[in-house]
Amino acid sequence: MIMTGFYPWILDWVAAKILLLLLYIVLGTIALKRGKTKAQRIAAFIATLICIGLIFKSALSKFIL
């Protein structure tokens, strides 16, 4: 970032993608092994699908959610 001068928080859609990616990773770990009940794992799985959709939406439209 320092060498290129590109900071992701300047562009809202890039910052949104990065935050959604981090949320996707956390929810994915809950869906795969950290969820204590089956309901928690299913809810986390559905939330990860929503995160993927929002990542694609922000990438295609280049606007924040």
Q: Provide the pLDDT confidence category of residue 65 given band limits of 50, 70 and 90.
A: low
**Residue carrying structure tokens 């992701």:** 8
Please write the tens of the pLDDT for every residue from 18-63.
899 999 999 999 999 999 999 999 999 999 999 999 998 888 887 6
Per residue, the 3-state secondary structure of the chain, as one string, reads CCCCCCCCCCCHHHHHHHHHHHHHHHHHHHHHHHCCCHHHHHHHHHHHHHHHHHHHHHHHHCCCC
The predicted structure's pLDDT at residue 15: 83
Q: Which of 27, 20, 10, 7 is nearest to 65 (CA)?
A: 20
The predicted structure's pLDDT at residue 51: 96
Domain boundaries, the chain: 22-60
The predicted structure's pLDDT at residue 52: 95
